[in-house]
Structure formats: C-alpha cells, structure tokens
Structure 1
Amino acid sequence: MSEAKHLDQSHRPIPYGRQHITDDDIAAVVETLQSDFLTQGPKVLEFEQAFASYVGAKYAVACSNGTAALHLCTMALGVNKESRVITTPITFVASANCVRYCGGTVAFADIDPATALLDINKVRQLLENKPQGYYAGIIPVDFAGNPVNLEEYRQLANEYGLWIIEDACHAPGGYYIDSKGEKQLCGNGKYADLAIFSFHPVKHIATGEGGMVTTNDEKLYQELLKLRTHGITRDPNLMDENHGGWYMEMQELGYNYRIPDMLCALGISQLQRAEAGLARRRGIAKVYDKAFESHAGIEILGTTPEAYDSEGETGHAYHLYVIKVEDRKGLYDYLRQHNIFAQVHYIPAHTMPYYRNLGYKKGDYPKAESYYAGCLSLPMYPSLTQEEQEFVIEKVKEFVG
C-alpha cells in the first residue's frame, strides 16, 4: 500500500507553497542581529552582489518587497500620467499597479492559453493599432516560473521604441534558450532593461518580505539606489555641493524602500541552496506530469518551447504547478476537506473592481478569463515529501475521476 494511503485529515496542512528555514538560516540572522548593523549595513551589498551573480546581471538593488521593486523600476524609467504600459491580466495586481502608482495607464493584452503567458501577438496588435510612441513599455511576467522569451520581446520593443521590465518574481534560476542557442537566465538583463524578484515566503528564496531589481544599465542602477532611499545621495560625485562628511542631498522625491540587513543575511543563506531547491521543484513537477499527462479531465499548463535545452532539460522554475479542470471550485473545496490547500493564480487583474472602475470589463480578455475559470495551483515547494505529493495526486484523481 502506498504511504499516501496513510495520510488523512490528521496530517499537517499541505499548502500550495511553504518556506524552508534551516539552522544555517537562523544562525545567519542571529549573527547579523548581534552585529553593528541591522539596516543600511554590509549585508545588503553582499546580498545584492551574490544575487546579481546568481542571475548573471551586472547590478542588483535590494528593496523592501517585490511591489517596491516594480515601483522603483517605473519611477526610474520615468513613467508618468502620459505613459501607457502593456502587461498581462494573469499576474498579481502589483505588475499593473506599479504603473498606476506613477499616474500611468495600464493596457492589458490577452494571454497565450497554452502557457498563460502574455501573448506577444496580442501585444503586437495593440502596438500596430496606435501611432509610434503611443505606448512607453511592456511588463511581461514569467508566470508560474515559466520564462518569457524576452529575445522576441526585445525585437518588438526595439521596433516601437519601448522599454521592458521583466517581472521574474516566479523565476529565479529559470532560463530559456535564445535563437543563438545560448541560455538566458531570467533577470540577467540581456534583453530587458530591468527585472524584478520577490522574496516572499512562498518564493524560491524567502526573506519574509523583500525584493530585488536587476539591470545591466549603470545609469538606471544609480537611479534605483537613489530612489530607494528618499531620493537622497551621499556620493560626492553626484552632489551639487558638499559641506562635509555628514552632507547628503535629496535630489528628487524617492521612498523608503530599504531592506534590513538581517533579511539580507537570510537571503544570502537561502541563496546558497537555491539550485538544490530549484532541482527539487523540477523533480516534483516531473512526478505531477507523469501522474496527470494522460488523465482525462486534467490539463497541465504548458511550458514555453524555448525553455528546453538540447538535452531536453527545462528552464521552467516552477514557482507554481498549475492544472486546469472543469470543476475548479469543486476540486478546490474537496482538497481543502483533506487538508490540502491548493490556490488559484490569478484572478484576472482587469476584472478587479479598481480596474473595472477605470473602464475595463469582463469579456475584454476571453483567454485570460477562460484560463481563470479552470486553473488551480497544486502544492509545490522543496520540502514537500513524496508521501504528501502522492496524497495530493490521489485526491485530485479521486475527485476528477
């Protein structure tokens, strides 16, 4: 008998995501708590440099959360009330809200139903229907950890004079293969002007709260550093004048989007086993794939074709494992009855009351809405045990079958 048969309602809850904190993580945080700096200290730069190296970018700026990272990007790129920015409706609303924070207009484009990623053909249609310069930029999202082909988006953006912010919150360590056969890591800055990450507890790297912006553009990097700290600089080379060692200049309106040293210490420790966690996520996905691939009534969300290398290995980072079923509400409730807390990602942003008040309505993006009607994210995190996964699979099949 499978070990999964022994799991019942008395087992610990099985969420869709869960942080994994080790003794080494705890020791790293304690060491920083006992140091001279709790914030604005050396651990911030250490985390930034380690993360930039991990994703292959020149620069990284750590901040208080992923939403702050998005806001910093839109500010650094000069988004204002005249700006129109294209993004996907299938994302956490922060991907769109960052444009609104700066007074800009959000233009949604529908998704590719095979992957739930922003459909580049729909984006092109938007661009072709307006004069050159009408749109300012694009925010594609590596949804579920599935990498967007940014090489294609870069070509399109260059054609229309647009910038790109890659929302890579779901995809640290993810990659796709470009037209030259080269591996492009999510957030490496090769094709996007800026990329952002989140360190929320359910993400690959957990710091409680936290975010990161990566870029290869030194000018944007310096602007991000300033905007993160009230628009203030202490760099003598950037000041209008200098009164002494104490002097600082507020040169523009920024925010307090800093991240404390103890959270960066936790991030550094977590980063050291990021590849092991990623390998485990991909292993969990393979088990789900095998269990559901030929099961009538269960559709597995597809992967970007470019996210496979020459050996057939995938660059999908698997923040989420998403299936689609006809009776999503029924399955969601059934799993909860068995202490399995699956989740739905995401309610289409354009259907939220805030965006409906701006003129969007249900029916505007039918593929996004069709995806939402059936999607469900199953438990996916490195510490998920084999027995727990077998139990999840058993209960999904039990309901759908």
Structure 2
Amino acid sequence: MLPYGRQDIRTEDIDAVVAVLQSDFLTQGPVVPAFEGAVAKKVGAQHGVATNSATSALHVACLALGLGPGDSLWTTPNTFVASANCAIYCGAKVDFVDIDPYTYNMSVVALEQKLRSAAACGDLPRILVLVHFAGEPCDLEAIASLATQYGVRIIEDASHAVGGKYRDHYIGSGRYSDITIFSFHPVKIITTAEGGLALTGDAGLADRMRLYRSHGVTRDPGLMESESAGAWYYEQVALGFNYRMTELQAALGLAQLDRLDDYVARRHALADRYDELLSSVPVVTPTRGHDRYSALHLYPVCLKSPDVRETVFNGLRSRGVGVNVHYIPVHTQPFYQARGFQWGDFPAAESYYRRTISLPLFPAMTDDDLATVVGALEETLESV
C-alpha cells in the first residue's frame, strides 16, 4: 500500500540518535536547546520552545497568552481536533470561523463578519488559532490587521507548514502572530518521531511556555517566592505539565532540519507533476497563492460530487493507494456537538469535507508512484 505520507530516515539521522544514546543525556541535555535555536534561526524567530507534541505546544501557548475560563478561542473547523481542544484544556470556550472555498483556510470575509458581530455584543475571542491547512499559508497580513483592530492574539497552527513562506518570509518568523506552532510527527515535513515546537518573538511568552512544559517548576531566583536554600532548590510556581522533548527526538530533528528546504522543494516538484497529470481528470486540485510558498504537507483533491467520495476512497484503497481524508470538520465531532455545534453551522467546511480525498505526497515518491496514483484514480472514477 502506498501511504499518503511517510517519513524519510537516512544514515545521518540514525547516527545523530545513536550519538545521543552514547552520551550522558537522554532527556534534558544540550541537544534540545540546540534544536530550538536551530529552528528559530532557520525561520527568523527569536525564541523556540520544544515540546513532546504540537498539541502540547498549542496548550502551553494558550496558557502563556492567558487563556482561561470565561475566555474564548476561535479556529477553523477544517483542522485536526487539537487546534480546538487546546482551548478546552484551559477551561475556555471554542468557536469556529468557516473556510474559504478555494484555499480551504480560514475565510477572511467570514472572520471579519464574525468579529464585527462579536464586538457588537461584547463577546470577542482572546485568541485566534490560524491553521495553515495542507501547508498553504493563510492570508496573514489581512488576518493580523483584523486581530489588531479587535485586540485579539494570534497563534499560527503551522503543523502543516514547516518550511513554508508568506511573502518571502518563513512561517514561524512571528511577523504576523504572537506564537507559531510546528509539528514534527512522522508524516509532517521533517520529523522528531513525535514532537512540537512553539516559536515567538516575545521573551516573556517563551519563558512562560518553558515553565508550563516542565511542571511549573523553576530554579530561576527571579521567579521563586523564597530565597534559594541551595543548589538543589526549586519551586513550583504554576500548574505545569511534563511536555518536554527528549534529546533523542531533538537529535533526529536537528539532522532532518538540514534537509528542510530540499524536502519542500521536492514536494513542490511532485505537486507540479500531479497538477499536470490531473489536468484532464474531473477533480479540483489544490490552490497555491502567488504571494506564498506552501510547505505542501498534503495534496487534497476535491471530487465533483460528494455522492462518489466513499466509492472513490474505497476504490483507491483497493488498488493499493493509501488515500486519506483531511479533515472531518471539528464542529461535527460528538464532543463538540454536545457543546451545541451541529451540521450546517459551517457550510463551506462541510462541503469541502464531503468531496475531499488526500492523495499520497512525500519526498521519496517517484514518477512511477505518481503515475500509479493518477491511473488508479482515473480507473476508479470511470467505474462510478
């Protein structure tokens, strides 16, 4: 079965992990901060805070921005549930903004209308979580302008967009947001097996995220309430969590980071070829904006009719093509329906979901692999 995504592990990656196994530190040592600094330098950020997952990074980012009971967070329904769950972890409410039917990212028009209505009734969100779906950056300048106008903080959920760019600046630079979150899950652009990272230009936010990722415990005299009793002394000054990344994960990530640009360029070459091969196939291929550079984590295509999606999905799987669907709209999940959301609330996201299939896309794919995928898709469509 040809999977929809796959990690690329090379000898240098293995050597980097083995070197850590043979070192004095397996958990918290010098490699984690080296990885944090390397990623921050790569994308032009000031501070990086590594965590054991992007979900953890979203959680500590929300905490650092002061999200709590009585607050609300808005995100897109076209995302994985973690983009919304991070608000629930903080005791806050969640709401959604529908997507643009062409980019599949948060609609600027829908956002502006929703913010205007929320301001009129005094119910503005504290945080807006943008999701760069499939690696295609949102319209950051327009959204940041609205956020500034209405006093809303921005977290970029860039789990799909490591290596992507908006107007020639890497996603994660922090030009348009308070905090950016990266994911290093195996099917993402580069991997640390499991792992995430929060990037920010604000030293205070970085310090708070570091505190929350490590039990709320500190040895910093400036944060402690009492004088230190000795070199062993620490204090818990907040309710934190064990969200730390290991040295093993960071070593793998450092080795992979050297190939980031090559990986994204390869994804573009594959997507360009997909565009060509699918030009006469009755599907809608992904949009790529002229002023942004997608990381191309996914290559989702939309079928002309939702009625055939299940048949096409099963037909491709039966032909050895491991397609997937990204995403079931978050507001339709039972957990969120129990909180008052229902089908029909966000029609653009629902329409997209009913027609979408993600085709395989990962750097090690060959031209023969692409031909196999497109041939299987054509055969399946001919049979429905």
Q: Give TM-score scaled by structure 2 length.
A: 0.96
Specify which of 192, 202, 206 is matched with residue 187 of structure 2: 202
| Whole-angstrom distance in 2 between the partners of 1:149 and 1:59 | 23
Residue of structure 2 in register with 1:180 after alignment: none
Specify which of 346, 351, 356 is matched with residue 365 of structure 1: 346
Residue of structure 2 in register with 1:261 after alignment: 247
Specify which of 153, 161, 166 is matched with residue 176 of structure 1: 166
| Whole-angstrom distance in 1 between the partners of 2:232 and 2:213 | 19
| Whole-angstrom distance in 2 between the partners of 1:205 and 1:277 | 8
Q: Is the 8 A contact 1:328 1:375 kept in 2?
A: yes
State the 1:236 CA deviation.
2.7
| Whole-angstrom distance in 2 between the partners of 1:133 and 1:334 | 47
Residue of structure 2 in register with 1:57 after alignment: 45
1:26 paired to 2:14: yes
1:191 paired to 2:169: no
Aligned-partner SS, 1:323: strand
Residue of structure 1 in register with 2:74 after alignment: 86
Could you list the structure 1 runs, at least 4 aligned residues long, displaced by more than 6 angstroms after superposition: none
Gap runs ≥5 in structure 1: 1-12, 178-182, 308-314
1:69 paired to 2:47: no
Q: Is the 8 A contact 1:149 1:306 kept in 2?
A: no
| Whole-angstrom distance in 1 between the partners of 2:335 and 2:113 | 25
Q: Deviations over 1:304-339 (max 9, x none)?
A: 3431xxxxxxx0110000101122211111111111
Q: Is the 8 A contact 1:133 1:161 kept in 2?
A: no
Higher mean displacement: 235-244 or 153-162: 235-244
Residue of structure 2 in register with 1:355 after alignment: 336
Aligned-partner SS, 1:29: helix
2:299 partner amino acid: Y
1:271 paired to 2:249: no
2:113 partner amino acid: Q
Aligned-partner SS, 1:340: coil
State the 1:293 CA deviation.
2.6
Residue of structure 1 in register with 2:199 after alignment: 214
1:246 paired to 2:232: yes
Higher mean displacement: 228-237 or 33-42: 228-237
Aligned-partner SS, 2:102: coil
Aligned-partner SS, 2:118: coil
Q: Is the 8 A contact 2:180 2:198 kept in 1?
A: yes
Specify which of 333, 342, 349 is matched with residue 314 of structure 2: 333
Residue of structure 1 in register with 2:302 after alignment: 324
Q: How many residues align?
A: 376
Q: Is the 8 A contact 2:72 2:125 kept in 1?
A: yes
Indicate the percent of aligned positions where both proteins have the same amino acid: 44
Q: Give TM-score scaled by structure 1 length.
A: 0.92
State the 1:223 CA deviation.
0.5
Aligned-partner SS, 1:270: helix
2:311 partner amino acid: G
1:172 partner amino acid: V
1:128 paired to 2:116: yes
2:234 partner amino acid: M
| Whole-angstrom distance in 2 between the partners of 1:23 and 1:143 | 31
State the 1:398 CA deviation.
2.1
State the 1:239 CA deviation.
2.5
Q: Deviations over 1:353-385 (max 9, x none)?
A: 000000000011111000001101101100112
Indicate the RMSD between aligned Cα atoms, in angstroms: 1.1
Q: Deviations over 1:143-199 (max 9, x none)?
A: 00001121211110110001000000000110122xxxxx22111111110010111
Which residues of 2 match residues 132-143 of structure 1 at below 5 A? 132=122, 134-143=124-133
| Whole-angstrom distance in 2 between the partners of 1:293 and 1:46 | 44
| Whole-angstrom distance in 1 between the partners of 2:333 and 2:90 | 19
